[in-house]
Amino acid sequence: MIKACIFDLDGTLLYTAPALMLSMNLTLNELGFDSIDEAHVKAFVGNGSDKYVERSLIFSGDKELKHYDKACKLYQDNFKLNASKGVRPYEGIEDLIKDLNKRSIKACVLSNKPQERVEDNIYTFFDKKSFFKLYGERAGVPIKPDPTALNMLIAEIKVEKEEVLYIGDSDVDVYTGRAAGVKTVAVKWGYRSIEVLMEAKPDYIIESPKEIVKVIEEI
């Protein structure tokens, strides 16, 4: 029986590409580089903000990452101001979370975003009772695909691993869930291609949020 659904944030619960793109392009432009488009944003995110900055700089021509330290600080400053610009829940997500709440299934978030930005995003669209626990990037805790944060979250919400679904839009999420020993659900509406998701071999691949309920009922 599933007692907790743990969700990735970007590309899973929320369409966040506009805010990610705006924040990065403000950073790149301030450093004298051209803007990147949404396709590259989607390809570069998923492994934390520092890696997103690194990939964006290399693509923009700073292959030796001479601007890396300054860019990381600029990006965090820009993202703090723009974290919810153009962001929206994916269709069906709000109904799904309400359904999970009614079933007394703990809905949680595990993201590589900084904790404050996770809270900014979630509480812009959901009330504070919608999610049982929000886990963002934390000092001293390795980010996904390392399973440490997921294991910490599972222990904190007091459920067994066989009672957990981990849901995300990327291969990083699948690898994280597998490393933690929980069932994984990959979603097709996010930032990674179906080919990337299939190669990661999640337990389930779904096309819409309502299918998560079907998965829960099957287990």
Which CATH number fits the domain that encloses residue 44? 1.10.150.240
Query: Do 92 and 33 reside in the same domain of the chain?
Result: no
User: What are the average pLDDT values for consecutive 10-residue runs of the chain, which has 219 residues?
Assistant: 98 97 98 97 94 98 98 97 96 98 98 94 96 95 97 98 98 98 98 96 98 95
Query: Do 111 and 201 reside in the same domain of the chain?
Result: yes
Q: Number of structural domains, the chain? A: 2
Query: What is the C-alpha radius of gyration for the chain, rounded to an integer number of angstroms?
Result: 17
Q: Which long-range contacts (CB under 8 A, 24 or more apart) does 26-32 make?
A: 26/74, 26/78, 26/82, 27/53, 27/56, 27/71, 27/74, 27/75, 27/78, 28/56, 28/57, 28/60, 28/71, 30/74, 31/62, 31/67, 31/70, 31/71, 31/74
Query: Do 11 and 28 reside in the same domain of the chain?
Result: no
Its domain, for residue 150, covers 4-15+87-218
pLDDT attached to residue 217: 95
Identify which of 110, 104, 113, 127 has the alpha carbon closest to the alpha carbon of residue 45. Answer: 113
Domain boundary among 26, 60, 82: 82
